[in-house]
Amino acid sequence: MTQPIAPIAKKIPHQLTTHNETRIDNYYWMRDDSRSDKEILAHLTAENEYCDAMLTPQKALQDSLFEELKNRICRDDNSVPVKDGDYWYHSEVSGDEEYSRYYRADDNKGTNKQLLLDVNALAASHEHFELGDMSISPNDSLLTYASDLDGRRIYTINFKHVATGELISDVLENTEGQVVWSNDNKTVFYVKKDPQTLLGTQVYRHILGTNQSDDELVYEEEDHSFYMSLDKSRDESLIFINLESTETSDTWFIDADTPMDEFEQLVDCIDEHEYSVDKLGDTFYIVSNHQATNFKVMTATKETIFDVNQWQTKIDHREDVLIEDIEIFNDYLIIVERELGQIRFVIHRGDTSYPMTFDDPCYYACLGDNPEPSSTTARIYYSSLTTPGSLFETDLATTDRTLLKAQKVLGEFNSDDYKSERIFVTSRDNQQVPVSLVYKKSLYQQDSTNPVLQYGYGAYGITIDPNFSPHTLSLLNRGFVYAIAHVRGSEMLGRQWYEHGKKAHKHNTFNDFIDVSKYLVDEKIAHPQKLFANGGSAGGLLMGAIINQAPQLYRGVGAHVPFVDVVTTMLDESIPLTTNEYDEWGNPNELDAYNTIKAYSPIDNVAAQNYPNLLVTTGLHDSQVQYFEPMKWVAKLREFKTNDNLLVFKTDMESGHAGASGRFKSLEEKALEMAFFINLCD
């Protein structure tokens, strides 16, 4: 049988000169912002065909895994109704439907249930469909919904009458997908996107019954290092414009009762002051890092909110506890904290406080949907590596919990068959890196026989908590150990854990991951020839860095929508999101940052060496990491790699950064990767 021939990309030298240094990019020609260049599309198609051909031996396994993953999902399912105002809202999905239907009813039993939106009907004629935000007008008569048809996260917003289901003529295009209603039920605010950079920099006011072309620009942010979003205060009295860069916050507001007023700045914008604000009654609640590395909770009144020095400290900063979030109720305040990587909730009532506790060695918990500030109960979501997601109603006076719903896992599943552990690995610079492990008890032996899949992300302060995934069972049931390396760049161990994994300290992220890998092998948790790794987006950058620095450690690596052309991207302000990222990676227009980034940028450090087996995936319409980054990276790896290990590249021609839409279609990529790893164990 003839061996498939890998697509070899043509080389057209392109000079990129920065700081008097010239880099040659032979694959710069692959960039096409229109995504319509025939030669580029032909090359991507050839890569897809080569991928399919090279993975033909695993196709039966892949199909079997897909059915396995699909058959664990409950076909008929619904969310727990939640009360918001006069109605109870929930969603349902059934059979082989890819998407949900959304309803509201008069009570939690579904009396007078009314269909609000059938996403299956909306998606029926589209290869890709993503539902953005939905919102209901204050008088409950109108519904807005946002839709993205190609994965670029550019949303069109439609309006419909709830009573009749009829669309009204108002349509808002090129938006972030979010609408906030004023209290007059006819005026809405939305963020408009720049179609080139995909940045949301402008807030518009729209009055129902008028054309979008007549909408008034009410705020424009000139500093493109900020992300922009809208929100409404807990008491629905204020509308906020929230501006967030990596290190600085800025908030503007307007009275929701007087939507024709001008937005006003909440407090002077101070570099490196990060905060979030909410309001209930006469009190503003602020989570702020002002003179508080791990944040503190502060309060203010309408008279003192404009001066940070007049804010009052309600919960002070602690060196070893990170404050992540708060939820405000009339009589209670819930604080979401993290200590030594573990989340906890602390309920405050007056001058007293008391925690909610959990038993698993490593877990994930978060606040559920709690729209009613008058409630004396709160919904809490809980999951661990061995515990399916569970929604609890918690009595805020006693902390007693009532299970409302637990995630159903179809087939033969017993959580007692699996074990999770939390360990700490000493890094090369003597830091303790947390690692979450899970495995099937009957198949685990600490004798260097286990295949291990190690996952990592490590950027933006995003913490990947150890929560349950029914899909991972397919690996655990085949003897795999699944490990999450909580490397620096997250906030797992507090704000400093993040600060020490970005910009000039970014190398710590890669070193931590590699050091965890070595530990797993040295401690005989992993078979030395069966250690696998995967990550996506910024985690794809992590994958690109580790295979340049320690390729011998890994049998196979999955890199998904990987951010791998870091220098070139961060020098190009026309690429979506570049300017927002300077505080994360550094600005390579500055020499020190340029040298730091160039030292780890995956594509700039590809070398003539043996590489692990590699599966690379992307989406043609990705708005976060452009398709041409992995495309160029794969071409350069093909040019330089010195062994015959697999290098396959799969592009979803219909999707974006989040991959395929729909609850079943999205499983195809998971099955593809699992089969890739399992097949390499033979």
The sign of the dihedral angle between the CA atoms of 63, 64, 68, 71 is positive
Phi and psi, residue 570, nearest 5° = -75, -10
| Residue among 383, 622, 623, 655 flagged as catalytic | 622
| 368 touches 378 (CB < 8 A) | yes
CA 427 to each of CA 320, 435, 555: distance values in angstroms, whole numbers, following the listed order: 20, 12, 22
For 1, counting Cβ atoms within 10 Å of its Cβ (0-12 exposed, 13-18 middle, 19+ buried), the class is exposed
SS3 462: coil
| Residue among 537, 601, 623, 661 flagged as catalytic | 537
Residues 6+ apart with CB under 8 A from 65: 474, 670, 671, 674, 675, 678
| 142 touches 161 (CB < 8 A) | yes
Phi and psi, residue 225, nearest 5° = -85, 0
- Crossing angle, helix 507-522 and helix 591-600, to 10 degrees? 30
| 539 touches 456 (CB < 8 A) | yes
Concerning whether 237 is annotated as a catalytic residue, the answer is no
Element (H, E) at 560: strand 556-560
Rounded CA gap, 312 and 417, in Å? 50
Among 638, 616, 636, smallest CA distance to 627 is for 616
| 418 touches 430 (CB < 8 A) | no
Concerning whether 537 is annotated as a catalytic residue, the answer is yes
| Residue among 348, 420, 657, 661 flagged as catalytic | 657
| 601 touches 566 (CB < 8 A) | yes
Concerning whether 106 is annotated as a catalytic residue, the answer is no
Query: Mind telling me the catalytic residues?
Result: 537, 622, 657
